[in-house]
Amino acid sequence: MNTLTLLPFIVLIAAMFLMTRSAKKKQQQAASMRNEMQPGSGVRTIGGMYATVKEVSEDTVLLDAAPGVDLLFAKNAIGAVLSDDEYNRIVHGIEHDLKSDADVVPDDASSLTETAGSDEPAAAAAPGDKAVDFGKKDVAEDGTDAAEAKTDEEPKKTDGDSEAK
């Protein structure tokens, strides 16, 4: 046989070998992650539920989903074991501030408008100029919020009403 005719078969076999090898690596990593679970660690199931590990046995895991709610899952149903910071951020909304030692950025631009070596702001140097409020709140002409005014003007739709044709 000619080596040129064997080349596609060799490439096909090599591709299959590489694909099965990467799949085996992923399975081994998932198995080691599930074996390293300990009580108290936060997990995400393959269904997307977040819970805390209460007990780990050979094939099952007892999860504490809420106070007084214990659920029994197969170990294979655990999608990820989360770090404490990530679990607290997702479940409890607690942000771990990694940049707490960084400089504090001011909320306004007053520190940027001061002239160097002067105690008074540069904006005060121009008399007759009004201070501009760059607040985020939009106010309608009658003094109410613009968002509230828009909702009052739009007609409310019911289940049977539809403008799409």
pLDDT recorded at residue 114: 57
pLDDT digits (tens, 9 = 90+) for 6-32: 888 999 999 998 889 888 988 888 888
Which has the closest alpha carbon to 88: 40, 38, 55, 35? 40
SS3 72: strand
User: CA geometry: angle at 13 spanning 9 and 18, to 5°?
Assistant: 150
pLDDT digits (tens, 9 = 90+) for 51-86: 999 999 988 999 998 889 999 999 989 988 988 888
Report the predicted TM-score, pTM, of the whole model to 2 decimal places: 0.47
pLDDT recorded at residue 161: 54
| Range ranked top by mean pLDDT from 57-61, 98-102, 120-124 | 57-61
